[in-house]
Amino acid sequence: MDTKTLTKLTDTQWRIEPQGPMRVPGILFGNEALIRDMDDKVYEQVVNVASLPGIVQAAYAMPDAHWGYGFPIGGVAAFDPDEGGVVSGGGVGFDISCGVRTLHTGLDRAAILAVQQELADALYYRVPVGLGSTGAIRLDDREMDAMLAGGASWAVGRGYGRPEDLGRIEEQGRMAGADPKQVSDQAKRRQRDEMGTLGSGNHYLEVQEVKAIHDPAIAAAYGLEQGAVVVSIHCGSRGLGHQIGTDYLKRMALAASQLGIHLPDRELACAPLNSDLGRAYLGAMRAGINCALANRQIITHLARQVFRDVLGADLRLLYDVSHNTCKQETHVVDGRQRQLYVHRKGATRAFGPGHPDLPAELRAAGQPVLIGGTMGTASYVLAGTKQSQELAFNSACHGAGRAMSRHAATRRWQGRAVQNELASRGILVRSPSPRGMAEEAPGAYKDVSEVVTATDRAGLAKLVAQLEPLVCIKG
């Protein structure tokens, strides 16, 4: 991206001045190198998002932003329903409520290395992974609707986890307002056998060592110590979420002219929040959030079984937060509180210290912001800041962001060679797909440490701890 087209506000904040149909400016976060490396399509998509009805304050792009469907991945935008604000399927994404969950093991690196091969094989055997993967759970129509309404709370009620887990999950494990009736039969069929599965792409289950502590006080509040081992799970709503996105983007595109909406890009198909179609999408999307929360809860149960069997250890939940959602939240804009619908696509919610929605034991430190690396690279734990409210509606980055397409990655790397190279570094990868490993090679992504540093320096979230992988179960 040409920085000459932007107004530099700070070393980590850049502005696209309103032009043409833009209703608000665009704001991009990142150091100059990250901004220059963003593809030009990010600029175009931020401009288009800033042109949508009812948008408030600005259209934002996080430091890991790259081209996506409609919104850029790493895009954030808030809409006011009282000012004709809209909800956009392209502003949520197809993998609804894809997110990261991190758990304490109570173990150290030496304990893992003593059984590393056995642990990697057991996790790979127990947690279904890969394109089209299915699990042992099969939901009938009644249980499907109960899961879509209940989320992780439904899963705990079926024996997949413990009640205390729910307090460490955003929305306490259940997204209110879900309406299973608004989810198509096809979407439900796609999910019938996929609960408790990781899927493919950039999803993973990783065993990680806490390699460095950057904020000792917050790390202590989170229960993180250097040398300790955690488990992180990155996945979402699988086929159901993708089908919800497909179904509603078609409906929104067809209804746009009747709803009086001019679309700068068909991929930005949307509907007024106060319309029947907008409400239907919100009900379905919230059901998709519950699907993802239930899915990560079941995978947690499976991982707990493995750690109990192999190491006699228990897993305690640190936090679970999503990065593909639209949430109704209260934010202060121009000195007054407003009820807004915040789209975060490839962006993580980052509530600051004192926020009432956080569990009491984490409230003083701020919300854990869980940033996943890619296969073989570091992941990070950050903390939400009070400043983030003013900067981008309490939002932060979600990962490294792709630097090249999956097709380009497979031309450059061979999956088994990537696996062997990581093994030489002490990182064991288990995956059913050599092609998938090539697509997800570390070099196919931006430098996650640079993204996290820019996020920290911008004030979006505060760097707390760095995690390094020991075992990676990869889709």
Catalytic residues: 398
Whole-angstrom Cα Rg for the chain = 21
**Could you give the CA distance from residue 347 to residue 399 in angstroms, rounded to a whole number?**
8
Residues 6+ apart with CB under 8 A from 335: none
Phi/psi at 465 (5° precision): -155, 150
Among 31, 12, 4, which Cα is nearest to 446's? 31
Give CA separation, 427 vs 51, 204, 304, 471, in Å: 45, 14, 21, 6
Among 200, 235, 251, 105, which Cα is nearest to 474's? 200
**DSSP at 169:** B
Residue 136: strand, helix, or coil: coil
Q: How crowded is the C-beta side of 196, counted as CA atoms within 13 Å?
A: 26
**In this structure, are residues 87 and 54 in contact, taking their beta carbons and an 8 Å threshold?**
no
- What are the beta bridge partners of residue 295? none
For the chain, give percent helix, strand, coil, nearest 5. 40, 25, 35
For 90-114, the three-class secondary structure string (H helix, E strand, C coil) is HHCCCCCCCEEEEEEEEEEHHHHHC
Task: Count each helix (H run) and each strand (E run) in the chain, helices first.
Answer: 15, 19
**In this structure, are residues 207 and 473 in contact, taking their beta carbons and an 8 Å threshold?**
no
**Could you give the CA distance from residue 102 to residue 348 in angstroms, rounded to a whole number?**
14
Give CA separation, 211 vs 109, 260, 453, 465, in Å: 10, 53, 16, 8
Tokens standing for residue 181: 């009736």
**DSSP at 121:** H
Among 368, 345, 99, which Cα is nearest to 223's? 368
Helices 116-126 + 276-311 axis angle, to 10: 140
Residue with tokens 């996506």: 68
Tokens standing for residue 311: 């190491």
